[in-house]
């Protein structure tokens, strides 16, 4: 995705100075012979995450159709991004009566819909509102695009992914390989914070993040970070805490005017790009994601996942953990299990 965006911007710059040569470059890059047709639907596209996410997906040359849905405001967002001179055709849909059309034929569905966090709110405070939204959207996905890869951004992800799984099970469409909780923002933050402390090039940094996607359930594995850096135990603990509290850091900095929308949109675009590459047969596409898992005794867990033509090709193991990481892993499990059970209970009772 990073290189895809750069290519798109470079092509736009080239087009302004030399239209004939850039036209050839774009035609070659976006040839339907080399790049499969892929429809991506963004549900919640008029919101704080949805709008920048729509922009980033419009810049992705792997997308041929971009479908933007929200309860209101989507035609304006769609008109705006549709003017960008990249491959995808953009359609906007507003209102529940148009949800089916927005979803039909989608290969990837990204769900940032719901209310954002505000100062003093936890992800659990969002549960009652966002759980209902996720349930209704997933009911429609089961009906209109049951084979799509579903990328769940709506918080609390630790609970909304189990809700989606239960909805799909009831509809008879559940495929654990096609449902993902997007935890990429935790990875993005861990990379950024680690690079700053270790004084290394952030573009070369890799840090796996496991567990869940809220507070103490987020466990960055700095012992596996590359390039290696000789950081103290205190530094590692501080980096772990900052990664866990990254969302709260942004909420407080925005002082009641939003949550992590721009960085979340970037992370969501990175993960969607990985899913598209996997669908298109690109080998060795590995990202961390919160999925149905046997890596621990918990039914859902975030770890490295190899992506392919069927979604999850393989859920990878955790690898060697430091003593601190082993202890932290055990301490997060009750909290994560509680969130999973909360989601399952909501889906079964409502």
Residue ranges of the annotated binding site for substrate are 117, 123, 155, 189
Tokens of 44: 């919640």
- Contacts of residue 51, defined as CB under 8 A and 6 or more positions apart, other chains included, come to 45, 77, 265
C-alpha to C-alpha distance for 197 and 148, rounded to whole angstroms? 39
Angstrom CA distances, 46 to 152, 285, 349, stand at 16, 30, 30
C-alpha to C-alpha distance for 133 and 73, rounded to whole angstroms? 17
Angstrom CA distances, 212 to 110, 143, 260, 313, stand at 18, 28, 17, 20
> Rounded to 5 degrees, what are φ and ψ at 181?
-90, 125
| Residues in a beta bridge with 246 | none
> Rounded to 5 degrees, what are φ and ψ at 272?
-60, -40
Q: How many CB atoms lie within 10 A of CB 196?
A: 13
How far is C-alpha 10 from the chain's CA centre? 25
State yes or no: is 147 an active-site residue.
Answer: no
**Contact predicate 238/229, CB 8 Å:** no
Cα–Cα–Cα angle for 100, 103, 108, nearest 5°?
165
**Contact predicate 114/103, CB 8 Å:** no
Write out the binding residues for NAD(+): 44-50, 70, 130, 153-155, 264
C-alpha to C-alpha distance for 186 and 17, rounded to whole angstroms? 39
- What positions carry a catalytic annotation? 213
């Amino acid at each position: 995705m990073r290189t895809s965006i750069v290519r798109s911007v470079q092509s736009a710059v080239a087009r302004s100075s030399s239209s004939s040569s850039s036209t050839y470059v774009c035609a070659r890059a976006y040839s339907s012979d080399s790049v499969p047709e892929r429809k991506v639907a963004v549900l919640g596209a008029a919101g704080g995450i949805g709008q920048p996410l729509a922009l980033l997906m419009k810049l992705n040359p792997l997308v041929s159709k971009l479908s933007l849905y929200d309860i209101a405001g989507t035609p304006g967002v769609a008109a705006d991004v549709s003017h960008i001179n990249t491959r995808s055709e953009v359609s906007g849909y507003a209102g529940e009566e148009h949800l089916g059309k927005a979803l039909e034929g989608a290969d990837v569905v990204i769900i940032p819909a719901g209310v954002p966090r505000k100062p003093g709110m936890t992800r659990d405070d969002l549960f009652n509102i966002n759980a209902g939204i996720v349930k209704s959207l997933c009911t429609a996905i089961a009906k209109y695009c049951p084979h799509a890869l579903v990328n769940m951004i709506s918080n609390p992800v630790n609970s909304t992914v189990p809700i989606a799984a239960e909805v799909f099970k009831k509809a008879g469409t559940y495929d654990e390989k096609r449902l993902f909780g997007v935890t990429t923002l935790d990875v993005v933050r861990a990379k950024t914070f680690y690079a700053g402390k270790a004084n290394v090039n952030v573009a070369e940094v890799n840090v796996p993040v496991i567990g869940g996607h809220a507070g103490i359930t987020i466990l960055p594995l700095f012992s596996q970070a590359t390039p290696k850096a000789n950081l103290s135990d205190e530094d590692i603990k501080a980096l772990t805490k900052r990664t866990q509290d990254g969302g709260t850091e942004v909420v407080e900095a925005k002082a009641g005017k939003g949550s992590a929308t721009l960085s979340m949109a970037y992370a969501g675009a990175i993960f969607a790009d990985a899913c598209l590459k996997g669908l298109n047969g690109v080998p060795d596409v590995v990202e961390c994601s919160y999925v149905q898992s046997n890596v621990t005794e918990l039914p859902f867990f975030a770890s490295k996942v190899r992506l392919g033509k069927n979604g999850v090709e393989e859920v990878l193991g955790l690898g060697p953990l430091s003593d601190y990481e082993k202890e932290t892993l055990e301490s997060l499990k009750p909290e994560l299990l509680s969130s999973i059970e909360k989601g399952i209970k909501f889906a079964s009772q409502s």
